[in-house]
Amino acid sequence: MNKPIKDLKPITVEASPIPGSRKVYEPGVRFPDIRVPFREVALHESANEPPVTIYDSSGPYTDAGFTPDIAKGLPRLREQWIVDRGDVEYIEAREVKPEDNGILLRGGNVSEGALAPQFPNLPKVLRAKDGKSVTQYEYARQGIITPEMEYIAIRENLRRKEQAETVRDGEDFGASIPDYVTPEFVRDEVARGRAIIPANINHPEVEPMIIGRNFLVKINANIGNSAVTSSMEEEVEKMVWAIRWGADNVMDLSTGRNIHNIREWIIRNSPAPIGTVPIYQALEKVNGVAEDLTWEVYRDTLIEQAQQGVDYFTIHAGVRLAYVHLTAKRVTGIVSRGGSIMAKWCLAHHKENFLYTHFEEICDIMRAYDVSFSLGDGLRPGSIADANDAAQFAELDTLGELTKIAWAKGVQVMIEGPGHVPMHKIKANMDKQLKVCGEAPFYTLGPLTTDIAPGYDHITSGIGAAMIGWFGTSMLCYVTPKEHLGLPNRDDVKTGVITYKISAHAADLAKGHPGAQAWDDAMSRARFEFRWQDQFNLALDPETARAFHDETLPKEAHKTAHFCSMCGPKFCSMKISQEVRDYSAAMTDNERADIENGMADMSQKFRALGSEIDVPAE
């Protein structure tokens, strides 16, 4: 039933270093075997500066000389750590059923050519022993520092040296960002529920990362096919492409055929945590008829996906029956796929949302694999008109209730957020979420700050994302130029990722996150000193920066030119600025004093003039 590997379209994942960057790895101290990845940009020797260290999410694909073998998957770097904890056991995996790949039980067409092949090197499946909770939250609350936690502490410090004093320049609205991240700090944040480490025990390929207000702001990219377009090969390529440019997490939002098989290929080859929305696959299993969804089908889907290694589930347990009518007068109703599906189910059955009523059972499944909740914002506003309305905040209140229940079960939680929100309403979202959800991490989709620009919604939302990241949001879910218009392609994925890296970094800067500004400063020094190649290499997108420069000045000689085509050699302010600096440095103290005195005289005159509006012309 599965497509033979030989018929597989050639997968051409981008496996090469980012231009100008070199992958480097730092070892652990408590856990000497861990190797934490970064990329390093070495500068021109005239800079007389050390290389710049940049956080890297691209995985082994950007290691020098790495040859991907997609059919084998990535190294299972966490496997031993997980097994060594002694609280998990190998189990008989749930059998994969035809309907997991969208092949219907009762007839229906099965086209051999459309099937994605099964991943050929399926690993054995782990699960917690004896109903234990094997989540990072559970370990943290027991005072245990896991290898994942040390890995993360090293990763977040960006190889900075711990200093006696770090000068802060930012506004963090009461966050608790440390000068220097220790493994103990990581443990404490996770124990408080203020941060999560999405890392399913069946996804040992993950390079551990953390989502929390007191850490670097993270971003998520969405991939996944739909009934209308895209294939497995394309989805794996998109995942590698998205993390290359900076996606910290990736969600597989597939809604078409072959969901199970596609997901396995993605997880086995992803160094980034993978999220899903299980209701999509559940809906496929009931042939797209929302009313036919049942708790049993959904439960089975949770287990299926948890055993594959999905790291977080978006679950719309806050779309309660009584809230649905609150959307009746909205301009854009319910824009969340999962939210609209559950709303339909509730009304059709005149019953409470089964995700809500079975919430504790969901927790029991997730705690056995360490799958984190991403409590879905099914009632988020999909237009400026609907922002901050009763439906949205009623759901948020419920998500707050559910957070406590999940924590009681030892399950990690983050909270999803809007949506479409005009700038003046953004802070209220953050304040309310902090208050209602016990400081669980916030994970927003934008928000879009206006509805008028389809084709440019990466920008309308990049504005809102930067702001809400500044206010305390921990992860920003990207939006591509294709939002509202169709499924994004590779270029769209890259544009969305770069835009959201901008938003996340602008937020880190505004929060005064220690060390964040080092990157901007290195770029600006390179710019001032006309180290063009360094400028390109330090850019979020070195290829585009260089290509844009070369459009008008392509020759190698231009790379040391003290101008570009914006102003040309006579008018380059950077060039003149350097001359000014030399002049200024060469002035004598007397010359400086003269200037000061002269200034005093002239200032007095103008102040006398200036204090009255109506001054006769001289």
Q: Which residues are annotated as a binding site for [4Fe-4S] cluster?
A: 564, 567, 572
User: Per-residue DSSP letters for 321-369?
Assistant: HHHHGGGTT-SS----HHHHHHHHHHHHHTS--HHHHTHHHHHHHHHTT
* 312-315 and 249-252 strand pairing: unpaired
Q: Out of 210, 487, 493, 497, which residue is the one contacting its own copies (CB under 8 A)? A: 487
Amino acid at 116: A
Q: Out of 444, 473, 535, 537, which residue is the one contacting its own copies (CB under 8 A)? A: 535
Q: List, in order, residues 6 or more apart from 445 with CB less than 8 Å away.
A: 377, 380, 416, 417, 418, 419, 461, 477, 479
The Cα 571–Cα 556 span in angstroms is: 21
Q: Of 2-10, 176-184, 303-311, 377-385, which segment contacts its own copies by CB under 8 A?
A: 377-385
Q: Of 57-65, 236-244, 383-391, 411-419, which segment contacts its own copies by CB under 8 A?
A: 383-391
Could you give the string, one character per residue 242-261, with x where binding to its own copies holds by CB under 8 A and - elsewhere?
Answer: -------------xx-----
Q: Which residues lie across from 39 on neighbouring strands? A: 23, 54
User: Per-residue DSSP letters for 197-211?
Assistant: ----TT-TT-----E
Residue ranges of the annotated binding site are 222, 251, 280, 316, 336-338, 377-380, 416, 420, 443, 484, 564, 567, 572
* 35-41 and 52-55 strand pairing: antiparallel
- Provide the 3-class DSSP secondary structure of residue 27: strand
Number of H helices, E strands in the chain: 22, 15
User: Per-residue DSSP letters for 439-480?
Assistant: TPPEEEE--BS-SS-TT-HHHHHHHHHHHHHHHT-SEEE---
Q: Of 56-64, 113-121, 231-239, 481-489, which segment contacts its own copies by CB under 8 A?
A: 481-489
The Cα 134–Cα 404 span in angstroms is: 18
Could you give the string, one character per residue 303-342, with x where binding to its own copies holds by CB under 8 A and - elsewhere?
Answer: -----------------xxx-xx-xx--xxxxxxx-xxx-
Our CB check for its own copies shows the closer of 134 and 498 to be 498
Q: Please answer whether residues 179 and 164 qualify as being in contact, where contact means their C-beta atoms are separated by less than 8 angstroms.
A: no
Residue ranges of the annotated binding site for Zn(2+) are 420, 484
Our CB check for its own copies shows the closer of 47 and 93 to be 47
Q: Out of 343, 375, 414, 479, which residue is the one contacting its own copies (CB under 8 A)? A: 343
Q: Out of 147, 170, 198, 472, which residue is the one contacting its own copies (CB under 8 A)? A: 170
To the nearest whole angstrom, how small is the minimum distance from the Cβ of residue 414 to its own copies?
A: 17
The Cα 609–Cα 129 span in angstroms is: 84
Q: What are phi and psi of 147, to 5 degrees?
A: -55, -35
To the nearest whole angstrom, how small is the minimum distance from the Cβ of residue 40 to its own copies?
A: 15
Binding flag, residue 181, its own copies (CB under 8 A): no
To the nearest whole angstrom, how small is the minimum distance from the Cβ of residue 260 to its own copies?
A: 17
Q: Which of residues 351-370 bind its own copies (CB under 8 A)?
A: 352, 356-357, 360, 364
Binding flag, residue 51, its own copies (CB under 8 A): no
To the nearest whole angstrom, how small is the minimum distance from the Cβ of residue 291 to its own copies?
A: 10
Our CB check for its own copies shows the closer of 106 and 607 to be 607
Our CB check for its own copies shows the closer of 164 and 452 to be 452
Q: Of 35-43, 176-184, 368-376, 549-557, which segment contacts its own copies by CB under 8 A?
A: 549-557
Our CB check for its own copies shows the closer of 556 and 612 to be 612
The Cα 375–Cα 341 span in angstroms is: 15
The Cα 454–Cα 370 span in angstroms is: 38
Q: Where do we find the tokens 């180290």? A: 531
Could you give the string, one character per residue 488-507, with x where binding to its own copies holds by CB under 8 A and - elsewhere?
Answer: -x--------xx-xxx-xxx
To the nearest whole angstrom, how small is the minimum distance from the Cβ of residue 77 to its own copies?
A: 29
- Contacts made by residues 137-142, CB under 8 angstroms, sequence distance 24+: 137/190, 137/191, 137/193, 137/196, 137/407, 137/410, 137/411, 137/412, 138/367, 138/410, 139/85, 139/187, 140/187, 140/188, 140/190, 140/191, 141/191, 141/410
Binding flag, residue 510, its own copies (CB under 8 A): yes
Q: Please answer whether residues 575 and 562 qualify as being in contact, where contact means their C-beta atoms are separated by less than 8 angstroms.
A: yes
Binding flag, residue 1, its own copies (CB under 8 A): no
To the nearest whole angstrom, how small is the minimum distance from the Cβ of residue 465 to its own copies?
A: 9
Binding flag, residue 5, its own copies (CB under 8 A): no
Q: Of 178-186, 200-208, 295-303, 347-355, which segment contacts its own copies by CB under 8 A?
A: 347-355
To the nearest whole angstrom, how small is the minimum distance from the Cβ of residue 543 to its own copies?
A: 9
Q: Which of residues 554-573 bind its own copies (CB under 8 A)?
A: 564-573
The Cα 395–Cα 525 span in angstroms is: 48
Q: Please answer whether residues 415 and 433 qualify as being in contact, where contact means their C-beta atoms are separated by less than 8 angstroms.
A: yes
Our CB check for its own copies shows the closer of 206 and 545 to be 545
Residue ranges of the annotated binding site for substrate are 222, 251, 280, 316, 336-338, 377-380, 416, 443
The Cα 273–Cα 323 span in angstroms is: 32
The Cα 23–Cα 375 span in angstroms is: 35
CA 351, 356, 357, 362 dihedral sign is: positive
Our CB check for its own copies shows the closer of 24 and 572 to be 572
Give the total of residues touching its own copies (CB under 8 A): 151
Locate 26 and state its tokens.
Answer: 């730092």
Binding flag, residue 521, its own copies (CB under 8 A): yes
Binding flag, residue 608, its own copies (CB under 8 A): no
The Cα 144–Cα 543 span in angstroms is: 43
Helices 259-268 + 295-308 axis angle, to 10:
30
To the nearest whole angstrom, how small is the minimum distance from the Cβ of residue 217 to its own copies?
A: 12
Q: Please answer whether residues 239 and 250 qualify as being in contact, where contact means their C-beta atoms are separated by less than 8 angstroms.
A: yes
Our CB check for its own copies shows the closer of 245 and 312 to be 245
Binding flag, residue 282, its own copies (CB under 8 A): no
Q: Which of residues 587-606 bind its own copies (CB under 8 A)?
A: 587, 591-592, 594-596, 598-599, 602, 606
Q: Of 3-11, 180-188, 369-377, 608-616, which segment contacts its own copies by CB under 8 A?
A: 608-616
Binding flag, residue 231, its own copies (CB under 8 A): no
Q: Which of residues 416-475 bind its own copies (CB under 8 A)?
A: 422-424, 449-456, 458-460, 462-463, 466-467, 470
Q: Which of residues 82-111 bind its own copies (CB under 8 A)?
A: none
Q: Which of 400, 477, 398, 470 is nearest to 439 (CA)?
A: 400
To the nearest whole angstrom, how small is the minimum distance from the Cβ of residue 24 to its own copies?
A: 19
